A = this chain, B = another copy of it.
Amino acid sequence: MTEKEWLKYLKKYIIENSYVIKSKNEDCAVIKLSKNKYLLFTTDALVEKIHFHFSYTSFFDLGVKLATSNLSDIAAMGGEPKWALLTLGSPKPIDKSWINPFMEALTSTLKKFETHLVGGDTVKSPFFFVNLALIGETKNPIFRKGAQPEDYIFVSRPLGESSAFLRLIQKKSLKDIPESVKQAHLRPEPEILLGKELSKQKLATSMIDISDGLLIDLWRICEESKVGAELWEDKIPIGNFATLEEALSGGEDYALLFTVEEKNLKKLENLAKKFNRNFFKIGRIIKERNFYLIKGTKKLKIKPKGFDHFEN
């Protein structure tokens, strides 16, 4: 089955009830512990030759990326990451030459956000794979559901450079690839601080992290919120070395994509000032359940295109 069919199929096995208030179609499962306390629970794996190649990924990079891909799921719900378990599958005996940089990168990336590794499982495996399971907490989870017509669509930083890396590495050696492009793909940063602040101030009506591409992740917000969207092409922030196509459909950006009511725009501006950064207003939610790309005076109806994890 395709990834879409699989996600639909999985739903019959995944529970939502009065405790598990959200598990389907979300970045994390959301479990209500008490009136104002929710556990967030997520897991993400990286597999050699599928998600990374050691020809261009160092063990340090792998540690950063594993931490970020999981932390980003917690960020997407406005949570505070807390405790993580590592599963490490290795085809060869563990050796300090490679385990040191991996563990240093993993735990230092987690610690930046006060997150602690508390255990795990280590197994022999024909290939390298790493899996993290991460628990977070929040008082106010932000869901994909919640975007309303008229809300503005924001993205937290320029897009596409992570995807540009995969294009450039086909033709160039690692040392000839611009630093920002390497960083974007190999050592991405999760938006934990922003997610937490949006949750605390209740500024976002919906949120997701861009892991599979702007269009497909915005489409997920729209599906859950039962709305549509128009995107303003000239407002989409494109990474310096990325193409528009990469900004729209490239994956692994780990930027936050969120929607904000007009009345909260001023507060968001203040938050940007506080963080000394910009957020990018790239479009608007519409009632009609379709997607439009506004190119100057043209309005194109588009279909989301993104990464299917089972596509060949």
Interface residues of A (CB under 8 A from B): 1, 3, 6, 9-10, 13-15, 17, 20, 23-24, 26, 28-29, 31, 33, 39, 41-51, 83, 85-87, 89, 93-96, 99, 103, 106-107, 116-127, 129, 131, 133, 135, 309-310
Beyond known contacts A13-B103, A43-B86, A87-B87: 20 more, CB 8 A cutoff: A9-B99, A13-B106, A14-B118, A15-B116, A20-B116, A29-B83, A29-B118, A33-B33, A41-B83, A41-B119, A43-B121, A45-B89, A47-B123, A48-B126, A50-B124, A93-B310, A94-B310, A122-B310, A123-B309, A133-B133
Given A29-B85, A43-B85, A310:B118 Cβ within 8 A: no
Measured between beta carbons, the chain B residues less than 8 angstroms from A87 are 43-45, 87, 131
Given A1-B95, A15-B117, A125:B6 Cβ within 8 A: no
Measured between beta carbons, the chain B residues less than 8 angstroms from A47 are 89, 123-126
Number of copies: 2
Given A15-B117, A41-B85, A83-B31, A51:B103 Cβ within 8 A: no
In the complex, are the beta carbons of A94 and B6 less than 8 A apart?
A: yes
A20, A28, A51 pick with most chain B CB within 10 angstroms = A20
In the complex, residue of chain B having the shortest beta-carbon distance to the beta carbon of A2: B93
Q: Return A38 CB to nearest CB of chain B, in Å.
A: 12
A-B contact pairs, 26 of them (CB 8 A): A1-B94, A1-B95, A3-B122, A6-B122, A9-B94, A9-B99, A10-B120, A14-B116, A14-B117, A15-B117, A17-B116, A31-B118, A41-B118, A41-B119, A42-B85, A43-B85, A43-B120, A45-B87, A45-B121, A47-B89, A47-B123, A50-B124, A50-B126, A87-B131, A122-B309, A126-B127
Measured between beta carbons, the chain B residues less than 8 angstroms from A43 are 85-87, 119-121, 131, 133
- Bound form: Cα–Cα A119–B46 in Å: 17
Measured between beta carbons, the chain B residues less than 8 angstroms from A135 are 39, 41, 135
- Bound form: Cα–Cα A28–B85 in Å: 10
In the complex, are the beta carbons of B119 and A45 less than 8 A apart?
A: no
Taking a contact as CB atoms closer than 8 A, the residue among B17, B44, B99, B127 that contacts A121 in the complex is B44
In the complex, are the beta carbons of A118 and B50 less than 8 A apart?
A: no
